[in-house]
Structure 1
């Protein structure tokens, strides 16, 4: 079985991948795991510390091949603000609750949660259900390394 020896952030990956692993956001924070690739193969990921992988990051195998990490489609809420100021206010409320959020120019994507939906609609946002890949903004403590609040 091939093993992952290192990784390459998406913005630094230039070679074509030989395979792909598709993972939802919650399963992309990894240190040690047996990964099932889309071609049916398996590889062992065993890193010194946990890494939060993004869509497009590459896992480098011990034979030199690269496996691309792809964000799985997930059941999400699309939060549509009235305007830019409203988007900023909604993002603040979500951040205050430590919600993973994919923030774009005209919308915010978050995991489905009926309580949060009610809050956002009460704040004047339009909330609709979508299914698409989820790539939340990496938090201040989650780059490609560990997590800490010290």
Structure 2
């Protein structure tokens, strides 16, 4: 089976022959070694030197130089909003305290569908809306329990500063 041994980041993508694509949810985008099958039926072995987070729009480089495009699957998420920036920061703090993957935007936070957290957010005065969209959580190091959150250039990490 042909191996994919490295990741070509979205911002470094220039040309190259894209022969297939893999659609992965956020749990499957944190991997080192796993057999994969592209949407077009190409079987290959992802075999990276170390675990890495595959981002939407990245490509996996096969041993023969061909590329397999990575697409983030749409997932059921909860979109959390708050009446003020301060209220949103409080919500982010409470969510962060639970050590669950969260994607932090300028005026909203997205988490995996979880009715217990939805109730907590409403109790704190936030709004919760179910949405279907790709999930790009901060760090991405939750899957597989690895504590190595590699910060890759070009991605904006929002730090809550009070």
Deviations along 1:2-47, one digit per CA (max 9) or x if unpaired, are: 2102112222222353321000001111111111101111111112
Moved more, 133-142 or 32-41: 133-142
Partner of 1:90: 91
Partner of 1:48: 49
Aligned length: 145
Matched, 1:3 2:3: yes
- Cα distance in 1, alignment partners of residues 14 and 118 from structure 2: 39
Moved more, 123-132 or 11-20: 11-20
Say whether the 8 Å CA contact 1:76–1:109 is kept in structure 2: yes
Deviations along 1:67-88, one digit per CA (max 9) or x if unpaired, are: 1111101111010111222222
Matched, 1:12 2:12: yes
Deviations along 1:64-116, one digit per CA (max 9) or x if unpaired, are: 11111111011110101112222222111111111211111121110011111
Partner of 1:148: none
Candidates 128, 137, 148, aligned match of 1:141: 148
Secondary structure in 2 matching 1:98: coil
- Cα distance in 1, alignment partners of residues 3 and 43 from structure 2: 9
- Cα distance in 1, alignment partners of residues 108 and 7 from structure 2: 31
- Cα distance in 1, alignment partners of residues 52 and 10 from structure 2: 13
Say whether the 8 Å CA contact 1:53–1:144 is kept in structure 2: no
Gap runs ≥5 in structure 1: 146-150
Structure 1 consecutive aligned stretches of length 4 or more whose deviation exceeds 6 Å? none
Gap runs ≥5 in structure 2: 141-146, 153-162
Say whether the 8 Å CA contact 1:35–1:43 is kept in structure 2: yes
- Cα distance in 1, alignment partners of residues 93 and 106 from structure 2: 15
Partner of 2:66: 65
- Cα distance in 2, alignment partners of residues 133 and 62 from structure 1: 28
